[in-house]
Amino acid sequence: MSLVMIGLEIHAQVTALKSKLFCSCRGNYRDFKPNTNICATCSGLPGTLPVINRKAIEYSAMISIALGCKVPNKVMFYRKNYFYPDLPKNFQITQYNVYGFSSIGVEGIFELDDLKKIRISRIQLEEDPGRIAYVDSGMNVTNSALIDYNRAGVALIEIVTEPEFTNPKEVRLFLNKLSLTLQHLGVCDTLLEGSVRCDANVSLKGGNKVEIKNINSFKEVEKAINYEITRQSSMYNRNIKVEFETRHWDDRKKITFKARSKEEEHDYRYFPEPDIPVIVLGDGFVSNIKDLMPELPLQRFNRFVSKYKLSEHTSNILINDKKLADFFESILKIHFSPVEIANFLITDFKSLIEDDVENIDYLTNMKVKPEHIGELVKMIEENKISRITAKDILIKIFDSGKLPSEIANSTNSFKISDEKILIDAVESVFNTEKSAVEDAQTNHEAINFLLGKVMKFTKGRADPKIAMRLINTRLNKAGT
């Protein structure tokens, strides 16, 4: 038995849906004032009936297929009964595997890397509860709360893995790959605030399983698991038994703490949802969905390598940031020079936005557009500007949104390849750097020094190849 066993339960909102799972309220609840995106159905008034959102079935099937799950021919919904203020009906409509297959995805296998696969037990489609806003600070100290049902009824997928992760790094890798897959499918924007949540169960040395709830972003999952592994191993070292329990993650204090047990003792009394009939997907369903599916990260990677002749390393950097990969491909429509553009993006461009990676929307909000990068790289390729100048121009585009040629003109940044000008520059360097000129007759280092001086003299604009040739010619003349 391995030392550490970790399993995940991930909830992700199907953010691409226009409406909620069982009513026509908006799926994107984020811009609404509290309790204005609700109706009789999603606020659980008696006599209302749920109507299943067809797209939600399609999208969740798409997710299931992308994560290597089987999609059964028949899917069913169940009621999961519990009493909690965020749940207007006092039950959640969800899926449950009791009588064979009933949830939208089962028996999945997700490839983590060449060596490791993670089995996915099931993927189910369910409704999100409302949101409780605690008035005071932490959820364990407050004594009053507000409730907002705008989110209640939004479509969620729940992904449950087998406890097959053996360290937090594998978990991080999985969540990154999962995020990327969901983003490529275009159905879950995992970068949206509150769109993903994760529970993790952690056990050591075959001991009791501890469940960590309430991890509200993928980033925090690794920290929560690390904390829990440290806590449990220190208990083992002191011969204290690890209890089977539920703990919460406090993302401010960065610790897990024991949940009050009463709050967690559920008897969900699952039973089939009587208001939604069994849904028979039909024979062609899965193959139709497969036809509709957009390109997945691995396919995109293979295409980048074969069609654009990018290195695997470069392809990976681009694809691991879907928006950057999209940006890359839209530049290619303007100027098709994949290798140059990819290199420019992952070095010069990325180094400028690196500080700003927290700003997840940097590619939509910035003034730099595909036209800019296309023109800029073209100018480098045509030897009109140096790479260093290109980066300076890029900084100016970030600020002004002006075209590169316009900036290069107004700042006099074009490369100098006019020999007359360069001969003058070389002449003036030779006049001021007499000892280096003498050295250069025998020492190659000194020639580079002179080139550096010519570059400096021309404010970096001299075409280095021409300048070098002129320096050598001038040296030969001086030597004879």
Binding site for Mn ion (CB under 5 A): 158
The item of Zn ion, Mn ion, none sharing an interface with residue 39, based on CB under 5 to 8 Å by kind, is Zn ion
Nearest to 128 by CA among 76, 56, 62, 185: 56
Q: CB of 349: closest distance to Mn ion in angstroms?
A: 40
Cα gap 93→80, rounded to integer Å: 6
Span interacting with Zn ion, options 21-29, 139-147, 275-283, 430-438, rule CB under 5 A: 21-29
Q: Does 25 bind Zn ion (CB under 5 A)?
A: yes
CB 386 within 8 A of CB 348: no
Q: Does 152 bind Zn ion (CB under 5 A)?
A: no
35 Rama sector, left if φ>0, alpha if ψ -120 to 50, beta otherwise: left
The item of Mn ion, Zn ion, none sharing an interface with residue 158, based on CB under 5 to 8 Å by kind, is Mn ion
Q: CB of 270: closest distance to Zn ion in angstroms?
A: 24
Q: CB of 267: closest distance to Mn ion in angstroms?
A: 16
* H helices present in 348-442, as ranges: 350-353, 362-365, 370-381, 387-400, 404-410, 419-432, 434-440
Nearest to 176 by CA among 218, 217, 215: 218
Fill in the amino acid letter for 337. S
Q: Which is nearer to Zn ion, 51 or 366 (CB)?
A: 51
Cα gap 378→336, rounded to integer Å: 9
Q: CB of 27: closest distance to Zn ion in angstroms?
A: 10
Q: Which is nearer to Mn ion, 12 or 380 (CB)?
A: 12
Binding mask 29-68 for Zn ion (x = CB under 5 A): ----------x-xx--------------------------
Q: CB of 149: closest distance to Mn ion in angstroms?
A: 18
- Which residue among 10, 17, 23, 422 contacts Zn ion (CB under 5 A)? 23
For the chain, how far is it from start to end, CA to CA, in angstroms? 81
Q: Which is nearer to Mn ion, 96 or 327 (CB)?
A: 96
Nearest to 164 by CA among 324, 1, 19, 32: 1
Q: CB of 124: closest distance to Mn ion in angstroms?
A: 7
Q: Does 188 bind Zn ion (CB under 5 A)?
A: no
Q: Which is nearer to Mn ion, 95 or 337 (CB)?
A: 95
CB 451 within 8 A of CB 429: no
Q: Mention every residue, 6+ apart, whose C-beta is less than 8 A from residue 281.
A: 57, 61, 71, 72, 73, 74, 75
Q: Which is nearer to Zn ion, 128 or 348 (CB)?
A: 128
Binding site for Zn ion (CB under 5 A): 23, 25, 39, 41-42
